[in-house]
């Protein structure tokens, strides 16, 4: 797998119930822009605030509307191995092409615990999956020796790497490509897309591509082809949005941008709250400077 995978937001109505029609509109926008895959129920999709039934509904809509146009990846990671297996089985039954599974949060497992977690899931559910390393969210990091063990499990087809550290990305690329050439390495920080792909990562799982899928695709393509002049130009255009997207906890900023632009996003679910004050002003100014029509 390679290219741009859009980590879709989960839009809500004013009463914070699922905005199913808004989700369909966002989904069709991504399909029309021909992103390389769609990720639902991830961090950007506020999965931890959704009930099991709501997750089912989101996946069902994504499968029906998308059909087989582009790969559908479901975030199924939970705080326990048992619940993760349950979610992954549900995703497989609905028709997801792969899963994205985060290291169990809150529990802070040991490296052996992390390995056993993913190995147990691979044995329990016949669905390929990408491991998701995000220590800022989980409190645990997948260390390089553990990754080198995990790549020996055929069902694990890639990693989404989110540490914000370029040295770590370099170490992941260097160590994993030696072990398995078909293993996909994805950057999970939009702002690190250019250097990550230049070093050998296969693409990005992107929040910004909710709004700018084509620009993100062009950026990744330019870097992969060694067209660094074009890549630098695109990166400069997107940089204000990369910066704005990190003003507050994801997906607060990306939803704020989408709401300002009239896209389906809506409110956030507690404990996340709406962006206000100076940060919201920055979002609006960023969009205005980019000549994006405000609605």
CA distance 142 to 200: 19
CA distance 253 to 71: 26
Average pLDDT rounded to a whole number, residues 167-180? 88
DSSP output for 64-91: HHHTTSS-EEEE---SSHHHHHHHHHHH
Residue linked to tokens 């997948």: 142
Q: What is the pTM of this model?
A: 0.94
CA separation for the pair 268, 255 (Å, rounded): 8
Give the separation between CA 201 and CA 122, rounded to whole angstroms.
24
**Mean of the pLDDT values across residues 25-53?**
96
Q: What six digits make up the tokens of 69?
A: 């146009």
**Which is catalytic among the residues 160, 215, 217, 255?**
160
pLDDT score recorded for residue 291: 59
Residue 295: predicted pLDDT: 42
CA distance 225 to 29: 26
- Reduced to 3 states (helix: H, G, I; strand: E, B; else coil), residue 129 is strand
Is residue 175 domain-resident? yes
Residues 6+ apart with CB under 8 A from 260: 283, 284, 287, 294, 295
Domain-embedded: residue 295: no
Question: Total domain count for the chain?
Answer: 1
Q: Using N-to-C axis directions, what is the helix angle for 111-124 and 81-94, rounded to 10°? A: 30
In a domain, 206, yes or no: yes
The distance of Cα 206 from the centroid of its chain, to the nearest Å, equals: 5
Helix segments in 95-204, DSSP class H: 111-124, 135-138, 144-150, 166-179, 193-199
Q: Say how many C-beta atoms besides its own lie within 10 A of residue 51's C-beta.
A: 9
Other C-beta atoms closer than 10 Å to the C-beta of 71 total 16
158 within domain boundaries = yes
Tell me if 294 is assigned to some domain: no
Per-residue model confidence as pLDDT tens digits over 225-258: 999 999 999 999 999 999 999 999 999 999 999 9
pLDDT one-digit tens code per residue, 90-148:
999 999 999 999 999 999 999 999 999 999 999 999 999 999 999 999 999 999 999 99
Q: Note the pLDDT of residue 292.
A: 52
- Residue at 179 is within a domain: yes
Range of the domain at 194: 3-225
3-class DSSP assignment, residue 96: coil
- The residue that leads in pLDDT, 237 or 67, is 237
Q: Is residue 217 part of a domain?
A: yes
Distance (Å) of CA 87 to CA 62, 76, 96, 127, 190: 16, 5, 11, 12, 27
- Tell me whether residue 106 is one of the annotated catalytic residues: no
Active site residue 132: yes
Q: Which of 132, 215, 217, 255 is catalytic?
A: 132
Interval 68-102: pLDDT, tens: 779 999 999 999 999 999 999 999 999 999 999 99
Q: Which residues of 192-210 are buried (b: 16+ CB within 10 A; e: fewer)?
A: bbbebbebebbbbbbbbbb
- Which domain CATH number covers 23? 3.20.20.70
- pLDDT band for position 180 (cuts 50, 70, 90): confident
Cβ-Cβ contacts under 8 Å for 225 (sequence gap 6 or more): none
Q: What is the pLDDT of residue 68?
A: 75
Q: What angle do CA 8, 131, 238 make, to 5 degrees?
A: 40
User: Residue 169 domain-assigned?
Assistant: yes
Residue 294 has pLDDT above 70, yes or no: no
DSSP string for 7-48: E----B-TTSSB-HHHHHHHHHHHHHTT-SEEEESSTTTTGG
């Amino acid at each position: 797998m390679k290219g741009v995978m859009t980590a879709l937001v989960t839009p809500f109505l004013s009463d914070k119930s699922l905005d199913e029609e808004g989700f369909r509109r966002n989904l069709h926008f991504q399909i029309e822009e021909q992103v390389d895959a769609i990720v639902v129920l991830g961090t950007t999709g506020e999965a931890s605030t959704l009930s099991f039934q709501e997750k089912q509904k989101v996946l069902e809509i994504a499968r029906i509307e998308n059909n087989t146009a582009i790969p559908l990846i479901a975030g199924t990671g939970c705080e326990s191995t048992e619940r993760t297996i349950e979610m992954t089985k549900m995703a497989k039954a609905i028709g997801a092409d792969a899963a994205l599974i985060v290291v169990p949060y809150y529990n802070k497992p040991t490296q052996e615990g992390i390995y056993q977690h993913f190995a147990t899931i691979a044995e329990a559910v016949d669905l390929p999956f990408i491991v998701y390393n995000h220590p800022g969210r989980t409190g645990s990091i997948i260390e390089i020796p553990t990754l080198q063990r995990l790549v020996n499990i055929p069902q694990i087809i890639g990693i989404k790497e989110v540490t914000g550290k370029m040295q770590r990305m370099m170490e992941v690329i260097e160590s994993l490509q030696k072990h398995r050439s078909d293993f996909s390495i994805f950057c999970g920080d939009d702002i690190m897309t250019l250097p990550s792909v230049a070093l050998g990562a296969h693409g990005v799982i992107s929040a910004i591509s909710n709004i700018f899928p084509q620009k993100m695709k062009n950026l990744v393509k330019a870097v992969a082809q060694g067209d660094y002049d074009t890549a630098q130009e695109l990166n400069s255009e997107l940089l204000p949005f990369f910066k704005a997207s990190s003003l507050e906890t994801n997906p607060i900023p990306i939803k704020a941008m989408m709401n300002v632009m009239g896209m389906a996003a809506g409110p956030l679910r507690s404990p996340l709250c709406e962006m206000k004050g100076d940060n919201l002003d920055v979002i609006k100014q960023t969009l205005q400077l980019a000549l994006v029509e405000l609605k």
